[in-house]
Structure 1
Amino acid sequence: MVIDQYGPPEVLHGASVELGTLGPFDVLIKNYATSVNPVDWKVRQGYLQARLPLKFPAILGWDAAGIIVQVGPSVSRFHVGDKVFTRPAIDRPGTYAEYVVVHENLVAAKPSSLSFLEAACVPLAGLTAWEALVEYAHIGPGQHVLIHGGAGGVGSYAIQLAKAMGAYVVTTTRKINSEYVESLGADRVIDYESQAFETIIRDIDVVLDTMGGTVQEKSFAVLKPGGILVSIAQPPDQKRAKEFHVKAVWFFLEPDGKKLQQLGQLFAGGKMKPTVGNVFALRDIQNAHVLSQSGHSVGKIGIVIDPEKAYQH
């Protein structure tokens, strides 16, 4: 599925596109499943043109799970036939496709406990949660963590990851999703439609901001001095961070196969589980974008590329 121009979901359409040649360290993956992330429709709308200019026709999508069918001459970590998952580089053709070419450093062995569809719903959102909580916040046992939007793709992995690291987890969500986030391990759930989180909680060590805007602004007040706000939504106000004696960072995910492998071990060991909410066929990707853009999807939106293989382990 490609786009020939920026615009609404309707610009997505089927096409045949020639595969690029494999570089010496590239692998060719026969792709069984992918998933939709908010970055997909932001790119489709043209919101990220300055950071990510596209060459049309462009293939979107930055999650893949499948089997390696060809390796470049210098590839050392993988072989033809390996079952893998990946968050590929964002500046190469994406994963809404039957085949995807990826540098081996961005690839990891698929956890055998996950189907290809489940595995395809992990890399981008899971690595984002990992980078926020492990790399930036240095999360540890006994810390109190506030995760905004706990029912979303990143939020639902962040809750599980924080619990796996021994933290106490507070999350915001709509009341309709409170049982879901509790099932992921949330210790305290705040219904953002009827409760103001900033009046309820204090002394938080880490805030994961998935929302930006006023949610981000209000989050400074709930942090304890020396705490950290990590945003994936927008760069935080550094003057405000100074006022509250906290750190505040924003980042754009840098994918990494070794980190993905570590994350995969948490799934293999039962410490985390995949969060597949809605599932669409690749040809129905327009509707998947509409759902993602609504902001009300629960967990990840999975996309089946090969219906015979996507559900296999």
Structure 2
Amino acid sequence: MKLKILIIVLLISMQSFSQEKTFSSEEVAINELIDGTLLNPNDNSKSALAIIIAGSGPTNRDGNQNFLQNNSLKKLAEGLTNQGIATFRYDKRIVKQIRKGKVDENIMFDDFVTDAKSVLDYFKEKDNFSKIYIIGHSQGSLVGMIAAKDNADGFISLAGAGQSIDGVIVEQVTKAAPMFTEDCERIFEILKQNKTTTDYPPALASIFDISLQPFMSNWMQYNPVEILKELDMPILIVNGTKDLQVSVDEAKSLKEASESAEIKIIENMNHILFTIEGDNLENSKSYNESFRKINPEVIETIVSFIH
């Protein structure tokens, strides 16, 4: 009797494993700077491909940083590929540089755009997919819409800002520490002239450290609304009501820039695509909680848009 039960348990386990494994995984080196993971559905048909671009900081292909492990982008990729859409997600170039102990101090926002274009060109040349969409998350939304302009079949913004980064930061500082608003505005005016300054409050050093200012100057020259107006392709804009970093108003600004764009506001979804039922403390803690599942509605929305 015990043997019979054991056999039944093993058969059930094998069946559930086969059901979950609906895709193959392949490591792909785009160039010496960019490595990533390609997931392909197992049905062998020529599917659409979604290229996933991570947000700000040294974010890897899975959506993680050194002390923030949530696997949000890995879960997004696997969720999409389980629904028949191939995905490619890659480490930002700075991730590889950190691993090698050789970080380029002169790295610019434009370098991230160059990398995204290289990924898109690589898969366009391979011609293994029916269509190629770019999904940009947070900072990756701006990177993605610039890269998508000439060569992609569609663009998806996840938690992407609707204004240039200086506007985003001034707004965030005004909410959190309004006593520094004038300092922020003053420093950004200097950066707009491609100049640097050491005259900033120590409390703002994480934003305006002298080593970061050239990158910030480069980044803030791009206005997402103006770029989105130029995209002649299907566009989907997604934001969550529990996003602590990018408000729903930002998504609405992007929508106003493109009459044909679709917009989806997902109730209780936060910045890293998790469902948050509680307060801001739960929200903040989730950034380092890899056990959480990705919000199912974001998967459904993207799959429906691409299909």
**Normalized against structure 2, the TM-score is what?**
0.24
* Greater percentage in helix: 2
Which has the larger Rg? 2
* Higher RCO (CA 8 Å, separation ≥ 6 residues): 1
* Greater percentage in strand: 1
**Normalized against structure 1, the TM-score is what?**
0.24
